[in-house]
Chain A
Amino acid sequence: MRLRNILLMLALSAVAALGLAACGGGDDEDEGTTTAATEGASVSFTEPTDGATTASTVTADVEVSGFEIDAAAVGKANEEGKGHLHFSMDGGKYDYPKYSGANGKLAEKLGVEGQYSPSTEPTITYKGLPRGEHTLEVDLVNNDHSETGTSATTTFEVTSSGSSGNGAKSDSAY
């Protein structure tokens, strides 16, 4: 009886070991790849919602899951599931300090103004947007600013001057 139990435990251990080995195949991937794995990461806009009408000052909020925003790691080596955000309004047309404030200033410092506004917070405020339809995109990016492939967009219409959203502002670096 005791011998049977020992044999059964050995057999179960062997099966478990085989399973772990099968899961550990990630080491075979090419070295030097610029994209860290972000499996299970997602991002979506909570404000402004798709089709919303807003004032010329818009605070956008995003919900991020399965991905850690790490301000201290920006510009450093990539880490799985970590990084920061790039916001891009109308393809970068409004990603300047005049519109995206501190985030735009950082974009200018990094030389990417007109392309995107970096952020280490899940929110950003754009001021002085002209009336009309605008599309805001957010990308989850790796520490080295390369895209992870996870992004979201929202399209809204500015119909008046003034402020919209929750009033929060993102003065974060990166």
Chain B
Amino acid sequence: MAGRDVSEYATVHARVRAMYSKMLAPETWTELCEAADFAALLSLMKGTVYAPYLAEVEDEKLTPRRAVYQVKKLLADAFTIIARLVPRSSRPLVTQFYRRYEVDNLKALIRGVETGASWERVRYVLFPLGSFTVLPAESMMEAEDVGAAVEQLRGTPYCDTLAHAMERYTAEHSLFPLEVVLDLAYWRELWRDVNQLPNSDRTPGRHVVGSLLDASNLMWAIRYRVSHHLSEEEIINYTLPSGYQVHDEDVRAIAAGADIAQVMARVYPSLGDVSPLLKEPQRGLPRLEAQLLRHVAQECRAAFVGYPFHVGIPMAYLLLAELEIQDLTVLVEAKASHMSDERFRPFLLVGCTLD
């Protein structure tokens, strides 16, 4: 089996290591965080691996939104390369992992249609999926209403998923049921793909993907209870029963009204006491989410240690690259709106964090 793993993962491993070595170094992050303003940040970013993507657009057109859009192209390229190089058995997982951005794009499009936004306004908010996507994005934005936009998804995997939720959308005029059903369907499918991996890939796959699933699932449960005040039954129905470190009983405990800080301490002993963050949910929950994602980043880095010929390494790289871009997005927005260090640093995940 080891021989097979080596032969299947040799190229992708070499390529991922090369890409991993090009991720932003701590000293680069220090420089980026200390940039005086958005222009200075851009000029520093042009000295990094993101330079070719930023160079595609003339300087005067590089608005914060456009800069973030360009930067995301690195991740899109990484996905394309990795999806091509990974063995056939793990390709469905990589592809499904990539679909997360498509799901996000779909949610953004539906929100755009609901609020009557123009295509120009929405297009650079979307993840640059290129030819990978099955979403007829531009024509969806031309649709009269959400129903007509969803109608255009016929023949895509999202049509069936949204069909049931559309009845609720029509009755409640809220995008909440649509977004929740998309998330649930997406993660269920992803987790199924992880569990269908060959034996040697399953454990590292569960480790990396499961860490992210855990963070999402927990945050859903906490938000539904603390911010949306949903009932126990609703919280259970809007969350997933599976995960890596987070088990169904943890989610159900939160849904049933248990002390969230205690549940968190049980699941993530290294995280420390999170109760201060829960006292002020509006400010505290985003910080809690950032802490969880930092934990995910640690898990991803850990995947690079030890036996290297498995799907965990490409998946961990993709996730780290995503978190790096998430940090760059925070930085771009912070610098563009002249935010102080203290306001944005708590939300950095792999860059120069305060925690």
Q: A and B: real partners?
A: no
Residues of chain A at the chain B interface (Cβ within 8 Å) = none
Binding site for A on B (CB under 8 A): none
